[in-house]
A and B are shown apart, each in its own frame.
Chain A
Amino acid sequence: MPDAPEDDYVDHPIRSYVRTGGRARPTHRLTPATLLIGHTSPRATSVGRQEREVLSQCRGVISMAEMAAHLGQPVSVLAVIASDMIDAGLIGVRPDSDTAAGPSRETLQKVLHALNHL
């Protein structure tokens, strides 16, 4: 890939900046296909409205793209909020979801097998 990962989804930095209280880019690689998961007992912290909205969508395993669509926000904006929430221990990610290296051969074989039997 010619572009560095930090260029992803930050194409309207000004709007993101305003909506996310000053932070313009996420520290985690959170793509539309990244799977988020709520912790069963999130650390007790007082959270703001945006964080509460995210938590309300995190009662199971859900992709960034789905959450963004449900919340009516661009993925780029959600990525900044969710990234901070991961750092704060409020939500987690499935580490094997949408890795930068792409799916393994073994995973692709499973995908093909499943498609052939749909």
Chain B
Amino acid sequence: MLSTTSDGNHYLAPTVVESVKILVVGSFGVGKTTLIGSVSEIEPLRTEETITQASEGIDELEATPKKTTTTVAMDFGRITLTDEIALYLFGTPGQRRFWDLWSGLAEGAAGALVLVDTRRLADSFEVLDQLETRTSLPFVVAINQFPDAPSYEPDQIRTALDLDDETPIVVCNAKNRNACVRALATLVRHALKTR
């Protein structure tokens, strides 16, 4: 099945020669797809990969180690920033078990925007841990402020998440385009500082 779009947005401008990517990571339901949709010039798209891995325990009928098959979806969007440069935003769940899938994405990325929900701060530990131990990507923590969530001072968040003094923390609203663009700009500014 081909999806032939006639909206003129199917292809990039022929002048685009360079692509830059930013990862949008965070635990389930934290607002990754929402943020991508807020800034993307195309409807967010999705691709899926299947990962097969050994899981706990033994299959009783086969007496072999159990395997589980997981489908991992990656949502993404794009923004053509100049005649020559397109920015891609890839939303991936940052958990350890999906590492194989997003390690390839991390290579060559400008940086990562880590979305955090203050109602579930502990859910972010694993994502931050993966970023810090397995990549050298510059990252920025963006608090996705849900209406009913407690609001903290950035310093409280820094302590709770055990972040370096250098790691920028921004308050964001994934539904608001300007707020998302500002968070991305903070990340790129930070990336420029760290190289």
The chain A residues found within 8 Å of chain B, CB to CB, are 1-3, 5, 7-9, 11-12, 14-15, 31-35, 53, 56-57, 59-63, 65-66, 68-76, 94, 96-103, 105, 107-112, 114-116, 118
Contact = CB atoms under 8 A, between A and B. Distances in A.
17 contacts: A1-B135, A12-B50, A14-B52, A31-B104, A33-B108, A35-B16, A35-B86, A61-B14, A63-B86, A72-B1, A74-B48, A97-B18, A98-B21, A100-B107, A108-B20, A115-B81, A118-B79
Given A110-B82, A111-B188, A98 B108 contact: yes
Interface string B176-190: 000001001100110
Main secondary structure of the interface of B (DSSP, over half): mixed
A70 to B, nearest CB: 5
Contacts of B52: 11-12, 14
B14 A32 contact: no
A60 B10 contact: yes
Given A7-B104, A31-B105, A32-B88, A96 B18 contact: yes
B157 interface: no
| Majority secondary structure of chain A interface residues (helix, strand, loop or mixed) | mixed
Interface of B: 1-3, 10-14, 16-21, 42, 45-52, 74, 76, 78-79, 81-82, 85-88, 90, 100-101, 103-110, 134-136, 181, 184-185, 188-189, 191-192, 195
Nearest to B16: A61
